[in-house]
A and B are shown apart, each in its own frame.
Chain A
Amino acid sequence: MKMAGLFEPKVDVQIENSVVVARGEARTLTERVIAAGNERVRLARTIILEEGARVETRTTVEATGNAVVEITDRIIHRGARSTSVQIARAVLDGFASALIKTGAVIEQSATDAVATERIDALLLSPDADARPVPTLEVKNHRVTCSHGATVGHLDREALFYLMSRGMDEKMARTLLVEAFLTI
């Protein structure tokens, strides 16, 4: 059962991060979110990129039960030639729900910035739901920005292939989910 939103529900885990990636630096931020039961997890990160900086975020979400996961990332490109890559993969089972919002803000000073966002969600049960929201706010035209999002289910053909090689269904599913979560 999901909360209707009449009151602000208790958040079990809240992580708010603010990172500045300095000139010329490169950082990779990996986050693995696992939520189950009635947990509510909120992750909000703001990353500021200076000139020539690069950040790559790799976020995986595994949620089941009645868990609710909310991720809102904002990467602000301040400096020229800054690069951001945001990759998020979520697997949702049971009655879990995930809102994954990635954002890239390109300010006027960020000439030749490159920003890519990709959110993929896998739904394993009829009651799970996913909300991928990749956003872009671009104020400089000399940039390369793109984003993509998909929501889907396990590929039946791949499942059949593995099972025809002797694996039982449970193991085949586990293997495919693990592959999906490997970024």
Chain B
Amino acid sequence: MTMIADRARFDIAATATPRFRSAPGLNEKLVRKISEQKNEPAWMLEKRLLGLRLYQETSLPNWGPDLSGLDLEGISYFVEPNAKEEKSWDAVPPEIRAAFERIGLPQAERNIFAGVGAQFDSSIIYHRLKERFRAKGVIFENMDAAVREYSDLVKKYFMTSCVPVNDHKFAMLHAAVWSGGTFIYVPPGVKVEIPLQAYFRMNSPHGGQFEHTLIIADRGSDLHYIEGCSAPRYASSSLHAGCVEIFVMEGARVRYSSIENWSKNTYNLNTKRALVDKNATIEWLNGNLGSGTTMLYPCSVLRGEGARSESLGIAFAGPGQNQDTGTKVIHTAPRTSSTTTSKSIAVGGGVTTYRGLVRVGRKADEVKATVVCDALMLDNESVAQTYPSIKVENQTAEVAHEARVGKIGDEEIFYLMSRGLKEDAATRMIVSGFVETVTKSLPLEYAVELNKLIDLEMERSVA
């Protein structure tokens, strides 16, 4: 198992030369070119053009972290790497393989995961699906191919009712220039016992990541999907405006785990949303470590009776980072329930903000919702903010929210030091315990990597 001790390995760009990189800036010609390159059906091109039009007419949000450093005109919106999609790991070109091996992907891939899609810039290079899942009718495909091969199915669900094209400025941008990503369909009653995962990386100066993940879990199915990503560091800013849409149909369960570890000068403006039907469950597991500025608010819409949402999240903000995250749960059906747990850590001048929402609609009888958001500040330069919003329009609801902000207690540190640990080791151990609720729900490899990453961040941030 890889023990990550040196973050520099994430920040070195691989030397692969992209096959096609579009000129900076965004215009209709580029959008048409992207669609043509991917050989898309007409309906997808129309959606892209709609997205572009809306994007150009919409202004930046007037709330949240400062986005003035984001140079939207200077970004290259489409980069295709120098390789075709490969089914076998060994056939992937050496420089690209080296980039992933540096991150530790091969080890992660070898063990319990069913299939791995690895994304380099804007295309899926490597994608493998285990035979038995294919036999059961499970579709695990890269998004570009799925648009062509499963056109009708994708057309029904892609940016229609979950995250519509006009949702917000960065969803509009996403609709125009999205590229790559994962499409998963699980047929009724099928339980995918092994987590499916995709690991992707951004590797181009001014390159943006706009991958789209669409998961459809049909009635009674069960799926665990994991995403983890890393990007190298450059002097100019880069942008990640991805989108994840999840449809959890009656009685199904989807667990979506993701570790986002973009490099320090990335703007991570991601959209994640799940529509949950009757008696179905969505479980979100989020680890937000990297990126300079993040705006990420995973949202569960509980629209079927008895639907459930569970969300566990960690946000870590070190020097120069601003993590603005929060979970949104919207209860529109009766007897739905949700629990949200958010843990944030701010150190060395980092800023963490929790901006969540619990909304109970008029017809949503007997709803139970709880939110716990705790923030740990490790020094005086850091900032922790919480703005939880609760809106309840039904009198039978039971909604509770609690939050605590503070530092590690002196007694706890003293206790560990009196047992022989040095102060920084004691601090790291306590931070590890603070995030344990979330890490213990991740598969072991990710839990270990997450803990190591947090350790590393703290080493570099705490003087």
Contacts and interface: CB of A to CB of B under 8 A. Distances in A.
Interface of A is mostly: strand
Interface in B354-410: 360, 362, 375, 377-380, 382-407
A16 B394 CA distance: 30
For the side of the interface on A, what is the size category? 20 to 34
A36 B406 CA distance: 40
Given A123-B395, A131-B389, A143-B407, A138 B384 contact: yes
B338 to A, nearest CB: 14
Contacts of A152: 397-399
B63 to A, nearest CB: 13
A30 interface: no
Contact of B404 (A127, A129, A146): A146
Nearest to B386: A136
A142 B305 CA distance: 44
A43 interface: no
A153 B405 CA distance: 28
B394 A138 contact: no
Contacts of A147: 386, 401-403
Given A133-B387, A138-B377, A123 B402 contact: no
Given A138-B377, A148-B401, A133 B389 contact: yes
Contacts of B401: 132, 134, 147-150
Contacts of A138: 375, 377, 383-385, 405
Contacts of A141: 377-380, 382, 406-407
A126 interface: yes
B391 A131 contact: yes
Contacts of B397: 123, 151-153
Nearest to A126: B395
A124 B407 contact: no
A132 B397 CA distance: 14
Contacts of A128: 393, 395
Contacts of A129: 391-393
Interface in B387-438: 387-407
Nearest to A97: B393
A172 interface: no
Contact of B385 (A125, A135, A144): A135
A130 interface: yes
Contacts of B407: 141-143
Interface string A81-115: 00000000000000000000000000010000000
A138 B387 CA distance: 12
B394 A123 contact: yes
Contacts of B377: 138, 140-141
B383 A126 contact: no
A15 B396 CA distance: 32
A40 B392 CA distance: 19
Contacts of B390: 130-133, 149, 151
Nearest to A131: B391
A169 interface: no
A108 to B, nearest CB: 6
B127 to A, nearest CB: 44
B392 A123 contact: yes
Contacts of B399: 149-152
12 contacts: A123-B392, A127-B362, A141-B377, A143-B405, A143-B406, A145-B405, A147-B401, A149-B388, A149-B390, A149-B400, A149-B402, A150-B398
Which A-B residue pairs are the 5 nearest by beta carbons?
Answer: A141-B377, A123-B395, A129-B393, A141-B407, A145-B405
Given A135-B385, A150-B400, 19 more contacts: A123-B397, A130-B392, A132-B390, A133-B388, A136-B384, A136-B385, A136-B386, A136-B403, A137-B383, A138-B383, A138-B385, A142-B380, A145-B406, A146-B404, A148-B401, A149-B401, A151-B360, A152-B399, A153-B397
